[in-house]
Amino acid sequence: MQDLAIRSTDLHCALAGLGLNPTFRKTGAIDVYLRSRRKEKKKLLSYAELQGFEPTLAPVTGGTHEAEEWTLESRSFVRAMLDDAAGHGAEIVFGTPVRELLSQGGRVVGVRTPSGTIRSEKVVLAAGLHSAALAAQVGIRLPLRGGRGYVVDLAARPGFDPTIPVRIKEHRIVVTPLEDRVRVCGSIEFGNENRPVAHERGAAMVDIASTVLPGLRGRRVIDQWAGERPCSPDGLPLIGAAEGVENLVVATGHGMWGLILAPVTAELITEHVIDPGPTRNESDWLRPDRFTR
Ligand SMILES: Cc1cc2nc3c(=O)[nH]c(=O)nc-3n(C[C@H](O)[C@H](O)[C@H](O)COP(=O)(O)OP(=O)(O)OC[C@H]3O[C@@H](n4cnc5c(N)ncnc54)[C@H](O)[C@@H]3O)c2cc1C
């Protein structure tokens, strides 16, 4: 999986080179610990050393600096991808849910939507958590569960914002400075995916983030949301053609890695959609039918 992430980071860089990844940059990041740990995998930096990387940091027990970390703002990336696809002739239709995968004799031949049927030579199923219900219609089992995470965006305050991403390890909270905001993000909860969003979880994350980065205290919240990460039972994505169902290519189950792995996923499914080419080694462990067999 790490190899896929590295390959995908290279592809993110290539997209940035083409002007298609407007906020992508190598920032590095620090991981901080609030309590002492019994076993250390690697020697921790002291608070003073960590302050050298992030001057707005409050006292912590220790931490590490990871130089090979990249940051991007997700919506600007998705927007750039959509614009580029449209520029290449893709027709993008919003607000049109696919209700049914149409199949005939073991082949998918199109999709049914409330505004009509779309016939197609290939169908790529990439509907996040909702991919499971659609795949079930053609006999593919995708046992996905939603891993709910929260995002709270705080208004930027130049001079008081962190300068690099800070990961508060015990709480699994990430604080990322972006162009016009500071994003506080984290948590992974499993339960009924239709339950209401508990915004107090986001507020609790901001509280913790503000103890580690006191400059964040009292900031105006400019956006907040929660999202369901599509998680598979083995923690690996489901990418590729499904055995027994022709013309269907699946790309889902990325869990916490969907943004990192987006370019490499596109590369892998392109091989199935346009040019089957030589099968790569990862195809077997990513097979979308591995839970059906
Ligand atoms: C708080 C939070 C923080 C995260 N941080 C990171 C991070 O730092 N790095 C990282 O790599 N990943 C991160 N992720 C994970 C990443 O967001 C997901 O892995 C990724 O969004 C999954 O992409 P997807 O396209 O498979 O699914 P989704 O993003 O869920 O997109 C599925 C799309 O399909 C549409 N859809 C659903 N059903 C239908 C239908 N029937 N017909 C038509 N369209 C349909 C939906 O409207 C949606 O637009 C984070 C997630 C959360 C929640």
Task: Kindly give the confidence (pLDDT) of every residue in the chain, 293 residues in length, as a single tens digit, with 9 standing for 90 and above.
Answer: 888 999 999 999 999 999 999 999 999 999 999 987 766 677 899 999 999 999 999 999 999 999 999 999 999 999 999 999 999 999 999 999 999 999 999 899 999 999 999 999 999 999 999 999 999 999 999 999 999 999 999 999 998 999 999 999 999 999 999 989 999 999 999 999 999 999 999 999 999 999 999 999 999 999 999 999 999 999 999 999 988 898 999 999 999 999 999 999 999 999 888 866 555 545 688 999 999 97
Query: Residue 254, exposed/middle/buried by CB under 10 A (0-12, 13-18, 19+)?
Result: buried
**Residue in 259, 261, 264 to alter for ligand 1 test, most ligand atoms within 8 A of Cβ:** 259
Pocket of ligand 1 (CB under 6 A): 97-98, 126-128, 130, 149-151, 185, 227, 229-230, 252, 254-260
Q: Which amino acid is at 279?
A: T
Kindly give the pairing relationship between strand 116-119 and strand 238-241. Answer: unpaired
Closest CA to 162 of 32, 22, 263: 32
Q: What is the pTM of this model?
A: 0.92
Query: Which of 199, 250, 254, 265 is the pocket-test mutation for ligand 1 (most atoms within 8 Å of CB)?
Result: 254
Give the pLDDT of residue 42.
74
Q: Residue 194: its pLDDT value, please?
A: 92
Tokens 């520029």 label which residue? Answer: 87
How much distance in Å is there from the Cα of 261 to the middle of ligand 1?
Answer: 12
Q: pLDDT value at position 276?
A: 61
Q: Which atom of ligand 1 is nearest to the CA of 260?
A: 11
Q: Give distance in angstroms: CA of 232 to centre of ligand 1.
A: 13
Distance CA 119, CA 126 (A): 17
pLDDT of residue 197: 92
Query: Given this model, what pLDDT does residue 1 score?
Result: 84
d(CA 78, CA 68): 23
Element (H, E) at 226: strand 221-231
Task: Tell which one of 1, 24, 74, 184 to mutate to probe ligand 1, the residue whose CB is within 8 A of the most ligand atoms.
Answer: 74
Strand partners, 183: 153, 176
Handedness of CA 52, 57, 62, 68 (dihedral sign): negative
The pLDDT of residue 281: 46
